[in-house]
Structure 1
């Protein structure tokens, strides 16, 4: 169940979800959103909401097996991750072989400038990179663990670009992107979370922190120290995107949410300590403690889904370009038309679109991903004024039409979408004008000729221009 401060919203799936996305990764949108009070955070959120479109990247040693990220290590999730026999007959053999992937990880084609160039051309304005997923393998030069890409145990450690987090952050920042650090609060590699004294049963800590407070204290320090590294040693970081919402104070569990009912022990990691440290290191940083309502969930993050209606709080849908968040050989990438439609639906409801592309074991995207980004770039070149620095406006969505407005309310953008594999432009556009808006000028983006239009009461009819428009049409109304 999804909530805003005032109304309940039903989350519906906009695109089909492959089993690789996993029901175990489903996230509710938290109730009880708490608006930030720090002026720098408020300003950062406002700028972030202007950006609309970001790049998400899940990448780790698991890309070598072409499997779902981390989850195959979790006994609870064997049903949908399906461990392959050739990777280990027993669970413990599998874990050993998985951890040994560190010893062969050598993504020599890694070139973050290539990614940044393609993402920027496609209109993406911020990047969120998985610095550490649940498996605990650090894609940054942490001093808290040797299970990291810069360890001598990892072949890529001899590469000048071995600290891939630093390379990605520096490259994208230099190209004008906001920088987001994804970080998993649970860490299934360290003995302070999954203590070898007990077998792991599910995704949660495998001992009771209230019975072993010293061990849990070490885990809290371990996590704090890694996050201190990320917010101290990697230049300006704008977003701290914390995953693993089962690591939370027990009192915050919502018993109406199925996956939260599986949390049986206290896992308070002291977010006040973490958040204050992050803000001291990075004034104004947006903190996203996913699904844990309160001071440290500055925006909410529906996953592989788009809210059916606008939300009155800052939000972002993270959705894969393929079927999986991680690299899968021969993954099926969504058509560019679908990506454009998803973007339009998200921004018309006031959200941001975080589109995930997974690098492969060689350190590069599949060519299909670059093809989609290039096609997006062509569409964005024509229609970007209707996308960026916009906000939602009633009626939001009517039939095939979706609405955004400029922040000064002087421009209204109406997107027309169509069903099917290819975009079908109607002979005429007919839609409702938002209440109180007096039209001075009408444009169809991508067409420079004169537009024939008429208005009757609150309805506008526009004769379609004789021009080819890809994926969606955008009508732009300017006020008197």
Structure 2
């Protein structure tokens, strides 16, 4: 994930190099899904609102950024230890992490219960990141968690992806598979005959088309395994957007490349057709590759300034890092809930990341944070789930959502840290008709209110103010 952030920062440095000889596309608008089952699933997904993503792999043993230290392009901002170690020696040490990976405290049921308690309704798990290490029992490579040289392979729960999917599915949480399109381990993408220069394929595809075909087959076969052998999967979440057809590039994506862009076409049409035959109604998210295989868009570590006119999801770390680091600092719950309210008011979903550690456990802060999220969602979930954006999405400290099924509007007042519930809450932009009943979620009785011009002022009784509400309160209108 963090790899992509760095590429955005480098756009100014490498954009001119990349554009040479390649005509960038005009920006492509959102392409609605034509498959009826997938379109219906996408509509359901927009009701779920809050999800979990987990970045986990052998890199957790070093507590470093996932995968990126392998990429020469990213040297200088990722951790390569010890400093000054020759590149291929470092790669050998990194890939040897597989031989010591043994998460003896792996307990996905605990994760799933925590996510369920937090009110999360879907989960995305990294089956394979850019480094190519597979957290599932693939038959396409020995660089996998179930290989004989991996200590954890002796554990009956060694097929980590299957265990995670089953645990979360048993809690009623919808399942998504993260899969990295680039693979920096396989010889079909980073061919050892050439040194890698950046994150892209390191050989000329036009000169070695058969090798690229082997990579396409490798990718197809791994995704086919994930769609065939791991139960019901509802989202295929593809990362590594630089792997795309040449005619799908735009100015932004071209600016990610140090080397001239190549036609990294992996046949998304064929992959999607196969995947949906195995998993009818599957949502496909080919991240940042605008077109028919990007069912929703995924702004990373940021929240759009205004509502977007297509399905979208902010993916964001709960702490500071996508992958496990020993002393990660988690965001205050107040911040996370304010983010959630802001995102949902703008019509999006919120996907929060946790990075499991080398022993297979989360930071304690992940559990306590989720408990507090869940406490708030238990009271205020009606203002979040199954809602859509409604104009105006925000007025000062008040955000608005509207229930999809009955049209009820919620005014959600964002409390500052340690702020007590005020005696009155005012907002503009929502026409409240005379005689409409207003109620505060988590408190009994109707609220008194009055309208003056386009402003509505709601009075909150002393009994409600004694309830020690935190983070945000939701007023139901109608």
The answer for the alignment partner of 1:253 in structure 2 is 249
Alignment of 1:304-453 (within 5 A): 304-419=301-416, 421-435=417-431, 440-453=436-449
RMSD of the alignment, in Å? 2.0
Is contact 1:62-1:68 (8 Å) kept?
A: yes
CA–CA separation in structure 2 for the residues paired with 1:85 and 1:208: 32
The answer for the alignment partner of 1:476 in structure 2 is 476
The answer for the alignment partner of 2:177 in structure 1 is 181
TM-score, normalized by length of structure 1? 0.92
Structure 1 residue 84 and structure 2 residue 81: aligned?
A: yes
TM-score, normalized by length of structure 2? 0.92
Is contact 1:27-1:303 (8 Å) kept?
A: no
Flag the 1:342–1:134 CA change in 2: closer, same or farther, 3 A: same
Pairwise CA distance, 1:56: 0.4
Give deviations 1:115-145, integer Å, cap 9, x for gaps. Answer: 1111001100000000000000000000000
Is contact 1:139-1:149 (8 Å) kept?
A: yes
Is contact 1:27-1:302 (8 Å) kept?
A: no
Of 132, 138, 160 in structure 2, the residue corresponding to residue 164 of structure 1 is: 160
Pairwise CA distance, 1:295: 1.3
Flag the 1:438–1:246 CA change in 2: closer, same or farther, 3 A: farther
Is contact 1:26-1:303 (8 Å) kept?
A: no
Is contact 2:200-2:257 (8 Å) kept?
A: no
Question: How many residue pairs are counted as aligned between the two chains?
Answer: 458
CA–CA separation in structure 2 for the residues paired with 1:437 and 1:47: 31
CA–CA separation in structure 2 for the residues paired with 1:70 and 1:25: 17
CA–CA separation in structure 2 for the residues paired with 1:22 and 1:296: 21
Flag the 1:439–1:269 CA change in 2: closer, same or farther, 3 A: farther
Give deviations 1:273-314, integer Å, cap 9, x for gaps. Answer: 111110111111000001111111100000001110000100
Structure 2: 5+ residue runs without aligned partners?
Answer: 12-26
The answer for the alignment partner of 2:14 in structure 1 is none
Of 284, 287, 299 in structure 2, the residue corresponding to residue 302 of structure 1 is: 299
Pairwise CA distance, 1:238: 0.1
The answer for the alignment partner of 2:7 in structure 1 is 24
The answer for the alignment partner of 1:224 in structure 2 is 220
Structure 1: 5+ residue runs without aligned partners?
Answer: 1-16
Pairwise CA distance, 1:82: 2.9
The farther-off stretch of 257-266 and 328-337 is 257-266
The answer for the alignment partner of 2:18 in structure 1 is none
The answer for the alignment partner of 2:96 in structure 1 is 100
The farther-off stretch of 122-131 and 257-266 is 257-266
The answer for the alignment partner of 2:23 in structure 1 is none
Flag the 1:401–1:74 CA change in 2: closer, same or farther, 3 A: same
